[in-house]
Structure 1
Amino acid sequence: MKKKFIGMVLSLSIILTAGVIPGKPVFAASTLNVDCGTTIRGVTHCASGSLYGITESKPSDISQIVAPLKPNVFTNPALAGSQNQQPIGAAIPVAGRLTNTTGKVMIRLADIYPKWPYAFTNMDDWIGKVTNVINKKKASGYSDFYGYEIWNEPDGTWKSTSVSFNDLWLKTYKLIRSLDSTAQIIGPSYSYYNHNRMNDFLTFCKANNCVPDVICWHELGGSKNISNDIKDLNSLEKTLGIPAKKISINEYCDSDHNAEGQPGASAPFIAKFERNKVDSACISWWWTGAPGRLGSLMASDTQKGAGWWFYKWYGDMTGSMVNVTPQNDNSNGVDGFACVDSSNKYVSILLGGVNDGTVNVSINKLPSFIGASANVKVEKVDWKSKDTPVSGTNLVFSKSYPVTNGTINVSIPNTNNTSGYRVYITN
């Protein structure tokens, strides 16, 4: 009995000493390594765009709401109306609204047809409708188009028994090349990446000289698979003898679609897109009653949400993107992306993701303009829901760090999974 009591006291002592609550899992602090000396590429804001995020009238103020995000690509229906898949948001008028921004429009041709899966009729009808869209696009005089996405999620929406998807792809590819020869052709736009399916598609395309200019698929289950999916595609291209193509992930979202546009969920996506040099990526659109909200970056038609402020930080990035290494590239855990601007003399690091509350950021090979002492400002933007307006960002702390061998270590306590953070460094 005495021996058992001693054991209980010892166990309790260990628990109290460690500061651990019985039954609660113990996690190590998350770490992130930023290598300011390794440039990935110039800033592109590749992931700043959305699916149906802009319509003919929403958001109403392009100059104040859209332009500051330095948007890249928006995916919009080729046509909109009662006879089409989407009632509003047609690509050509949206392109007209974006003429004074960095934004470009990807034309989703499949949205010519209504219903879900799409109510495809026959090839003659399809070719006539696509020809009409191409002619309208060319006649518009707008130049801010990213290209034509031939079909959307054929792995689930191609139901024709008289025409194969490959036949549709080949004939549409040839049509676009004949009518709009310099336009980018985008596909296959699968609902998720699958090695065998992509291999079959690219094998057909290689054999029939119809490889897309931009290879596209969706990542709607979180960011954990992105890097491996891209590595697999790169391997397929080498095996098939296809020169590396641009990549577009024109629908991306956390597996919990309520987190669409959430800063904490968005950070690992953007980090992996930047690290893998993705050409474009669009936030998804799960809220069918609310198009025109930039993929839930807006809390309403006129009010900014937390996501808007996080993507504004992203839009503010200039100079060159540099390498960031997370603890686990194949997870939804803490990840980040960073830029160095030697002209404006700053380093900006954005981060977020699933974490235990403390994130340690090791920043190495700081540029010489930072000097012997780095002024560091850490800010955050908090999120409650996609419909909750947010008025701005908040300062976590601001302090000076001595630079040792080009390195500083910044520890951010009390972080959470839904907020986004910025580490901003000047001399």
Structure 2
Amino acid sequence: MTIRPTPRRLLAVAAVVVLTLGFQPASPAYAAVDGMTVNFSLFGGTPTYRASGFIYGVSTNASAPSVSTTDQIKVKTMRAGGSQIGCPNGGWVNGSYGPRWDFMRAYYNRAQRTGARVEMIIAGLWGSDGVCNVPRWPGDNGNWTDYTNFINRIIADVRAAGMTGSNVRWDMWNEPNIFFWGRGQAQYLEMVRRGTQQIRAALPGAVIVGPSCACSPNNSWFATYLDYVRANNVVPNILSWHALPGDPAVDAANASSMLAARGMSVQGYSVNEYGAFGAEQQPGPSAWYIARLERCNCDGARANWGMVGQTPSLYDTLGWLTTSNAGQPMGQWWVYKRYADQSGQRTNITAGSSHDGIVFQDSGSRRSLAVFGARAGGAQGAIDIRYTNIPSWLPTNGSVNVLVERMPSTNAAVSAPTVVSNSRFAVSGNSILVPVNWTNANDAYAVTLTP
């Protein structure tokens, strides 16, 4: 999880590639500094809102921010494990498992009200959260009794709470390749084997997630993990990693190659922390991450850089979507709101060199809604958004109405996106060109086309 004293890691980012719903020609040249092309003739798939997720971000009793704040952005993943509760001596390893489980149960109930799944961070329940003392680790000195008892306790508690369905995912450990795991990889892998077998024996339908590493799936640590889980028949249901920073679409392609080389398969991918500290938690990069997650059909959970006892806290802001304490939407919350407003059929878009978006067309409501963003440090200036093969149901008398809204980069409350323009565009050759003066790469834009 992204709750550490200082953000002290950068991951190598692979070169951006064009990934689309299907095949895609090379990106065209633009007179502007960057551009994207929407092709209405290529579409398919209804909204999943799979990128709308976060780690922690609600109060320890799961009552704040308001349920409507999460309902409106159609949250699909809530990831937590009680981290930092009771520190410096919290969690099972310090004899303080109860308060963390109480939070986990409240968090689950909140997720149920919102219609989201929960990813349960077992490391947090143990007490490994980057802040608390961890006097021992599972399997120290070859003794696995404590860990076995720990997993048995969680199994009993999830049964008692009715948390045995597929809407609860078991995240076997958080970021085991860095300081959240205080021993070597071999001991970690033995823990994964024992824990996975124990959970699946008790709950055959349990959804196992791993390795949730602070890494991309392109290195020897990840390769060793895959080789081990394959050899020991403990392959996770969901393969997970973090992008802090990273490109989920590129990472997913690498993961697929690594799996294929081993004859392995999983049910899906989860980038269960995305968005590095700082600029990547602003509207533009947030929208870019949403687009990249959608391209690889990866579930996503927004990172949380808060700390208990500081502002923002780990237990508010939904990962810096809302203001501290008051819970008012900021610019990045509106990115997720416009994402949640999308309906109809997902539509093909060619990404630019540093810009990308997620586009839907809805013939029933005669509307297309797109959310566009730029990766951190992306190009600023004139950005061309080309819409091609506009369907006959969208224009009226040869033109369409184009509403351009900006979600500003700010740490203050934002009552609504800023309307940049609201005007008609003549359709020529079933196409229009919407220019955007993108003066700040940390801003995001929504473009709505109607008759």
1:356 alignment partner AA: Q
User: CA shift at 1:115, angstroms?
Assistant: 4.6
TM-score, normalised with respect to structure 1: 0.85
**8 A Cα contact 2:215 2:241, kept in partner:** yes
- Cα distance in structure 1, aligned partners of 2:208 and 2:71: 26
**Pairing 1:231-310 to 2, within 5 Å after superposition:** 231-254=253-276, 257-259=277-279, 261-278=281-298, 280-288=299-307, 289=310, 290=313, 291-301=315-325, 302-310=327-335
Question: CA contact under 8 A between 1:152 and 1:190: conserved in structure 2?
Answer: yes
Does the 8 Å contact 1:30/1:334 carry over to 2? Answer: yes
C-alpha distance in 2, partners of 1:262/1:134?
A: 38
Match runs of 1:355-366 below 5 Å: 355-366=379-390
Separation of aligned partners in 1, 2:389 and 2:66:
38
Q: Quick one: which amino acid aligns to residue 37 of structure 1?
A: S
**1:60 partnered with 2:60:** no
1:377 is aligned, of 403, 408, 415, to 403
SS of aligned partner of 2:414: coil
> How much does 1:162 deviate?
11
Q: Verify the 8 A CA contact 2:34 2:384 in the aligned structure 1.
A: yes
Match of 1:137 among 147, 155, 158: 158
Q: Find the residue that maps to 1:203 and give its secondary structure.
A: helix
Of 402, 421, 425, 2:445 maps to: 421
> Who is 1:126 aligned against?
147
Separation in 2, partners of 1:162, 1:66 = 37
Q: 1:312 matched to which residue of 2?
A: 337
Structure 1 partner of 2:120? 107
CA distance in 2 between partners of 1:75 and 1:134 (Å): 18
The whole-number CA distance in structure 2 between the counterparts of 1:416 and 1:373 is: 29
Q: Is the 8 A contact 2:244 2:275 kept in 1?
A: yes
Provide Cα deviations, 1:10-65, integer angstroms capped at 9, x if missing partner: xxxxxxxxxxxxxxxxx942101112232353211111111112234356253321
Residue identity opposite 1:133 in structure 2: I
- Mean Cα deviation higher: 404-413 or 173-182: 404-413
- When Rg is computed on C-alpha atoms for both structures, the one with the higher figure is 1
Identity %: 25
Q: Which residue of 1 aligns with 2:15?
A: none
The answer as to whether partners of 1:380 and 1:395 remain within 8 angstroms in 2 is yes
1:325 is displaced (CA, Å) by: 1.6
Distance 1:161 1:202 in 2: 16
CA distance in 1, matches of 2:151, 2:84: 14
Q: CA-to-partner distance for each residue in 1:250-275, whole Å, 9 max, x for gaps?
A: 11113xx1235310111211111111
Of residues 359, 363, 370, the one that matches 1:342 is 363
- Does structure 2 conserve the Cα–Cα contact (< 8 Å) formed by 1:374 and 1:400? yes
5 Å-filtered alignment, 1:178-197, equals 178-193=201-216, 194-197=218-221
Go from structure 1 to structure 2 and tell me whether the alpha carbon gap of 1:373 and 1:244 turns closer, same or farther (over 3 Å shift). Answer: farther
Q: Measure the CA separation in 2 of the matches of 1:345 and 1:113.
A: 51
One of 199, 223, 238 as aligned partner of 2:223: 199
Aligned residue-pair number: 390
Deviations 1:373-411 (A, max 9, x none): 2111001121223xx222221110011122233321111
- Mean CA deviation greater in 71-80 or 150-159: 71-80
How well do the aligned residues superpose, as a CA RMSD in angstroms? Answer: 2.4
Unaligned segments of structure 1, at least 5 residues: 1-26
SS in 1 for 2:368: strand
Distance 1:114 1:243, change over 3 A: closer
Structure 1 position 166, deviation (Å): 1.4
| Kept in 2: contact 1:250–1:281 (CA 8 A) | yes
> What is the CA distance between 1:111 and its match in structure 2?
0.8
Residues 193-226 of structure 1 show CA distances to partners (whole Å, capped at 9, x for unaligned) of 13322222112111211111100000002x4x33
**CA shift at 1:369, angstroms?**
1.6
Q: What amino acid is the match of 1:408?
A: I
3-state SS, counterpart of residue 411 of structure 1 = strand
Aligned: 1:166 with 2:186: no
Post-superposition Cα deviations, 1:260-299, rounded to whole Å, max 9, x if no partner, equal: 5310111211111111111x11111112131232110011
The answer on 1:35 being equivalent to 2:39 is yes
Question: What does residue 391 of structure 2 align with?
Answer: 367
Letter in 2 for 1:374: V
| Aligned residue type for 1:335 | D
> Do the aligned partners of 1:33 and 1:326 also contact (CA within 8 Å) in 2?
yes
